[in-house]
Amino acid sequence: MFLHPGPGGRKRPRFRTKAEAEAERDRLRKMKTTSGRKPRNTAGSGSRTNTAELWEQFRASARVRRTGLRNQADLAEQWENLVRPKWEHHLLDRITYKQIEEWAQELATEPAPGRDRPRSVKRQRDALALLTRMLAYAVSEQMIPDNQAYRPGGGRDYMPSIPGGSGETAKHALTARQLNRLADAEALARWRDLILFAGTTGLRWQEWARLEVADINTHRRTVTVTKALSTVRGQGHSFRGRAGLIDGPTKTHETRTVPVTAEVLALIRPRLTPPADQLVFNIKGKPIAHTTLAKAMRDASAEVGTAVTRLQETLGRPITGYADEATISGVPAAIQAAGERLGEAKAKLSDQYTGKELRDRLATVQKAHDDDVAAWRGLRAGDEDFRPLAPHGLRHTAISALINSGVPVTTVARWAGHRSPTVTLNTYSHLYAGSLDEAGEVMADWLAREQ
């Protein structure tokens, strides 16, 4: 350690290595907890305070009250359902790193209450993170000398890693043709305009679900994003009749304006009726629930996203998921073969069932047949199958289209509502994988011109 002159002539300590800085930090912490001065929380020493009492102090602390309503609600739910059942009566100074490590193993292997499988990785991380934050608060209030959530050398080896891929697997996006096929699916008939709106503006579900009529400027063909919805667990929260939602600012706490194409604006125009504070996309005045749209998109993806494969199976052709001219030419034969199979299936069902059960089963096979025929007739050469898409995949579709079209990353970041272009580059780095090859070709062309 050495002293370095700072502003106003004051000398401040500087460290040559991180290890030196951490050693000095630990020394100062030890001095605070072992010195003779009175602790700030005399009644709350670790030997007398249990985790439930710590939680009450933690939730009332300034560090929690400064956060948003959603975060406070999430913390309360995580305490009630994840942390409290295990740690409620534990005294703070009796908690050990090994106990927390064993708890992490229990979360990862034992079935959650009322379920036949363990909690998700995210829920495991939420539980461990909340306990860590509570113990960190206890350290800052001098209830305990060290945060037992960390091993002596630092780090939390028990913290589960977030599963996920990279590249196109992690950020699945559709082509323009696939987006239109998805929007035209029978399962999304009433939300065709919404699918194309979300798939071309790139708004998050939390943002487009909160849009009001006044946010759409039909003259300039823009949408202004000022607020966003947040989902919370537990009871007691709702927004315009939809339970489990909280109204609040956007993810970055900033307002942005995004262009809307003339075609999409024409599709949503019937929704832009007074009053000005009416939600643009709603079900009887309520926001569209994420789960409702997600299910409809899964059904639509099953309907049109595998149409090429089902067609090739019916024709007895090799399964490629790509519709070439030969595959398209076989559509009439496939429809005829599917009709014959439908007749056979109905005959078998009539022999096995009667009454309402027969009618229900006949309706099921008829719908599957109709879906196949409609999907096949809508195919054209060059179409490809696509994987099921979640609502957030519509955002990836729009942002990927901008990047693939060569829009500058700074513009894409503003459009997407990212805090900085760095977020855009990190999120969509797989789309820039071929940029080095293209840059190499540009350099070769430039050098050739100069010779």
Distances from the Cα of 288 to the Cα of 41, 77, 239, 314, angstroms: 47, 23, 11, 37
Closest CA to 384 of 308, 326, 303, 273: 308
- Look up residue 217 and give its two tokens: 């400027």
* DSSP-based three-state secondary structure for 153: coil
pLDDT of the chain along its 451 residues, tens only?
555 555 555 556 677 788 877 777 776 665 554 444 444 444 445 568 999 999 999 999 998 988 877 788 889 999 999 999 999 999 998 999 999 999 999 999 999 888 889 999 999 999 999 999 999 999 999 899 999 999 987 889 999 987 654 444 447 899 999 999 999 999 999 999 999 999 999 999 999 999 999 999 999 999 999 999 988 876 678 899 999 899 999 988 899 999 999 999 999 999 999 999 999 999 999 999 999 999 999 999 989 999 999 999 999 999 999 999 999 999 999 999 999 999 999 999 999 999 999 999 999 999 999 999 999 999 999 999 999 999 999 999 999 999 999 899 999 999 999 999 999 998 898 887 666 677 777 788 888 876 6
Separation CA 13–CA 393 (nearest Å): 49
Max CA pair span of the chain: 97
Show the 3-state SS of 34-94: HCCCCCCCHHHCCCCCEHHHHHHHHHCCHHHHCCCHHHHHHHHHHHHHHHHHHHCCCEHHH
Query: Domain 40-163 belongs to what topology?
Result: DNA polymerase; domain 1 (1.10.150)
Helix pair angle (391-404, 409-416), 10° resolution: 160
Distances from the Cα of 74 to the Cα of 126, 127, 209, 433, angstroms: 9, 11, 20, 37
Domain positions in the chain: 1-37, 40-163, 306-377
